[in-house]
């Protein structure tokens, strides 16, 4: 059983505390100490080790010894459950703008689904022809293990209806991953018997509003089924729960209801995902998408609810109104320079494609957008292994070459890399395609600002001044 993973990076490394689903960044001295301790199986001997142990070694500047004590790693017995993954190649050959291996893999194991939501960005309902076999699913687990991936998030479609899914989860647990699932939470009684006990650490469950609002999008009866699942999970082994809510005009008024469900059912977080206009939502929901004004209202609502439900962590994008907000509330991906796509995390799709983000054209293997697929798909596991694909930055330039692909307004913006990850390359890509379809002339991805960005409205309405008063005089531009 693996309880901890130490992984070397180009500089320093990470320490995954599996039970908490938390990865701590180590500076170089911290990583070397952990590697030495692993080699000696926890025996802190010799002047070099003693010198190292005295230093501050976590990237946040705090001491490492108290952390070791907390997890029983100040005694040799604790080290039997620690795995170490050192770099297997010279550091200068590793990607410069990405971690050495994905920290998290979003593993879309199928497009089949027991629901058919109006919003669904990847058109899930029926399995795609040629989806990965059970053996291939296990082989992705193996490759991820060898690379030292921290978390596998099974998703889809609906991962829980895939035959053999419990075996895939059991294999992942044996390999020491933190195991999470993105799920609709609409389970049969039989599923409710085994799902809470099969080794899943984190359930991320969709709920898109109060009963009427949710059911209008996700199907009749789904609200009650999700509430039933939340109760069952509450009765099972202590499980981490997050609610995912896709937000647009139709459900702005029911975020409070979902926050209440989260608070009442021990869900530690509520992730509010602005509707992405892809897949089924293009035909069924695009008119509900927020414009800038709506997005501004939405963020105000989030901040109102943050004060009401202090036990629930609210996360979303372009979180500009809260000086305390960060780009990441995540315990594994840090989103220091941009969102995690292609830099700290990747998707493995149901046909074996590897890509940065599910919203991109990479999600539609049968689409005719060959250019979009070439830009966004980094490879396929049926042709290359995960290590080769991840470490070849030429395949990931849309996510790793930020000076080229982020909008020029983002780089000097005071919110960038603080409470906003900058313009979304995928939203920009679709805007570019749209512009090309209506106008003659060439443009570039980086010329498009995220349509949800409401920064200009803040400036127009003097919100900068309001915040500046709050922050003791610092203006939003340049405020870090």
Residues that bind ligand SF4 in the complex, under the rule CB under 6 A: 113, 115-117, 120, 124, 156-158, 184, 318, 320, 407, 409-410, 413, 415-416, 420, 422-423, 450, 453, 455
**353-355 vs 377-380, strand pairing mode:** antiparallel
- When the beta carbons of 265 and 388 are compared against ligand SAM, the nearer one is 265
Indicate which of ligand SF4, ligand SAM, none lies near residue 450 (CB less than 5 to 8 Å, by partner kind): ligand SF4
Site membership for ligand SAM, residue 187 (CB under 6 A): no
Residue for token digits 């689903």? 21
- Is 185 within 8 Å of 229 (Cβ atoms)? yes
Q: For the CB of residue 258, give the shortest distance to ligand SAM in the complex, in Å.
A: 12
Site membership for ligand SAM, residue 315 (CB under 6 A): no
- When the beta carbons of 21 and 156 are compared against ligand SAM, the nearer one is 156
Phi and psi dihedrals of 239, rounded to 5?
-120, 140
Instruction: Provide the sign of the torsion angle of the four alpha carbons 16, 17, 20, 22, taken in this order.
Output: negative
Kindly write out the interface string for residues 113-132 of this chain, putting x where it contacts ligand SAM by CB under 6 A and - elsewhere. x-----xxxx-x--------
Four-CA torsion 387, 389, 394, 396, nearest 10 degrees: -110
Q: Write a three-state SS string for 357-421.
A: CCCCHHHCCCCCCHHHHHHHEEEECCCCCHHHHHHCHHHHHHHHCHHHHCCCCCCCCCCECCCEC
Q: For the CB of residue 316, give the shortest distance to ligand SAM in the complex, in Å.
A: 12
Site membership for ligand SAM, residue 42 (CB under 6 A): no
- Is 179 within 8 Å of 151 (Cβ atoms)? yes
Indicate which of ligand SAM, ligand SF4, none lies near residue 379 (CB less than 5 to 8 Å, by partner kind): none
Q: For the CB of residue 299, give the shortest distance to ligand SAM in the complex, in Å.
A: 17
- When the beta carbons of 112 and 423 are compared against ligand SAM, the nearer one is 112
Q: At what angle do helices 28-39 and 46-54 cross, to 10 degrees?
A: 140
Q: Could you tell me how far CA 441 lies from the centroid of its own chain? A: 35
Q: For the CB of residue 114, give the shortest distance to ligand SAM in the complex, in Å.
A: 9
Site membership for ligand SAM, residue 182 (CB under 6 A): yes
Out of 23, 241, 262, 273, the only residue in the binding site for ligand SAM (CB under 6 A) is 273
Site membership for ligand SAM, residue 206 (CB under 6 A): yes
- Rounded-to-integer distance, Cα 12 and Cα 220, Å: 50
Four-CA torsion 419, 249, 215, 319, nearest 10 degrees: 10
Options 154-162, 164-172, 192-200, 259-267: segment touching ligand SAM (CB under 6 A): 154-162
Q: For the CB of residue 351, give the shortest distance to ligand SAM in the complex, in Å.
A: 16
- When the beta carbons of 116 and 291 are compared against ligand SF4, the nearer one is 116
Kindly write out the interface string for residues 216-255 of this chain, putting x where it contacts ligand SAM by CB under 6 A and - elsewhere. ----------------------------x-x---------
- Rounded-to-integer distance, Cα 23 and Cα 34, Å: 14
In the numeric block, which tokens belong to residue 156? 């889809």
- Rounded-to-integer distance, Cα 389 and Cα 366, Å: 21
In the numeric block, which tokens belong to residue 169? 């989860």
Q: For the CB of residue 182, give the shortest distance to ligand SF4 in the complex, in Å.
A: 8
Q: For the CB of residue 370, give the shortest distance to ligand SF4 in the complex, in Å.
A: 25
Site membership for ligand SAM, residue 269 (CB under 6 A): no
- When the beta carbons of 65 and 115 are compared against ligand SF4, the nearer one is 115
- Rounded-to-integer distance, Cα 33 and Cα 480, Å: 32
- Rounded-to-integer distance, Cα 284 and Cα 94, Å: 43
- Rounded-to-integer distance, Cα 160 and Cα 19, Å: 22
Indicate which of ligand SF4, ligand SAM, none lies near residue 410 (CB less than 5 to 8 Å, by partner kind): ligand SF4
- Rounded-to-integer distance, Cα 5 and Cα 82, Å: 6
Q: For the CB of residue 351, give the shortest distance to ligand SF4 in the complex, in Å.
A: 16
Indicate which of ligand SAM, ligand SF4, none lies near residue 276 (CB less than 5 to 8 Å, by partner kind): ligand SAM
Q: For the CB of residue 336, give the shortest distance to ligand SAM in the complex, in Å.
A: 24
Count the alpha carbons within 13 Å of 109 in the hemisphere toward its beta carbon.
Answer: 27
List residues near ligand SAM by CB under 6 A: 113, 119-122, 124, 155-156, 158, 182-184, 206, 244, 246, 273, 275-276, 278, 281
């Amino acid at each position: 059983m693996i309880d901890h993973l130490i992984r070397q990076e180009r500089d320093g490394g990470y320490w995954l505390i599996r039970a908490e689903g938390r990865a701590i960044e180590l500076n170089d001295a911290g990583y070397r100490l952990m590697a030495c301790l692993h080699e000696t199986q926890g025996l802190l001997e010799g002047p070099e080790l003693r010198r190292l142990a005295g230093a501050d070694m976590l990237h946040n500047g705090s001491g490492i010894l108290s952390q070791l004590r907390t997890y029983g790693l100040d005694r040799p017995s604790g080290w039997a459950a620690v795995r170490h993954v050192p770099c297997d190649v010279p550091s200068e050959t590793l990607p410069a703008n990405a971690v050495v291996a994905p920290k998290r893999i979003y593993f879309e194991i199928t497009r089949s689904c027991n629901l058919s939501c109006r919003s669904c960005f990847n058109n899930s309902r029926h399995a795609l022809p040629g989806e990965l076999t059970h053996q291939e699913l296990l082989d992705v687990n193996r490759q991820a293990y060898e690379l030292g991936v921290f978390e596998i998030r099974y998703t889809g479609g609906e991962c829980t209806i895939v035959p053999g899914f419990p075996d895939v989860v059991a294999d992942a647990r044996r390999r020491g991953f933190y195991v999470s699932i993105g799920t609709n939470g609409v389970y049969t009684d039989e599923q409710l018997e085994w799902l809470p006990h099969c080794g899943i650490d984190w359930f991320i469950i969709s709920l898109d509003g109060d009963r009427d609002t949710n059911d209008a999008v996700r199907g009749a009866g789904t609200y009650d089924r999700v509430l039933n699942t939340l109760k069952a999970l509450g009765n099972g082994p202590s499980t981490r729960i997050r609610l995912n809510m896709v937000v647009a005009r139709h459900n702005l008024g029911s975020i409070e209801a979902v926050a209440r469900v989260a608070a009442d059912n021990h869900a530690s977080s509520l992730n509010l995902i602005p509707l992405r206009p892809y897949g089924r939502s293009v035909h069924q929901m695009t008119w509900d998408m927020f414009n800038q004004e709506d997005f501004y209202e939405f963020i105000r609502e989030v901040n109102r609810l943050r004060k009401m439900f202090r036990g629930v962590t609210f996360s979303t994008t372009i979180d500009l109104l809260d000086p305390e907000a960060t780009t990441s509330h995540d315990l594994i991906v840090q989103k220091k320079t941009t969102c995690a796509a292609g830099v700290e995390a990747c998707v493995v799709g149901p046909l074996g494609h590897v890509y940065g983000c599910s919203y991109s054209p990479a999600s539609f293997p049968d689409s005719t957008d060959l250019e979009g697929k070439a830009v966004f798909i980094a490879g396929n596991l049926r042709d290359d292994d995960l290590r080769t694909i991840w470490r070849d930055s030429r395949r990931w330039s849309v996510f790793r070459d930020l000076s080229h692909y982020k909008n020029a307004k983002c780089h000097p913006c005071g919110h960038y890399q603080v409470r906003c990850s900058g313009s979304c390359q995928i939203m920009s890509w679709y805007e570019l395609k749209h512009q090309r379809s209506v106008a003659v002339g060439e443009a570039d991805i980086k010329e498009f600002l995220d349509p949800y960005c409401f920064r200009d409205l803040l400036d127009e309405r003097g919100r900068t001044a309001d915040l500046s008063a709050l922050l003791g005089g610092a203006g939003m531009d340049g405020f870090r």
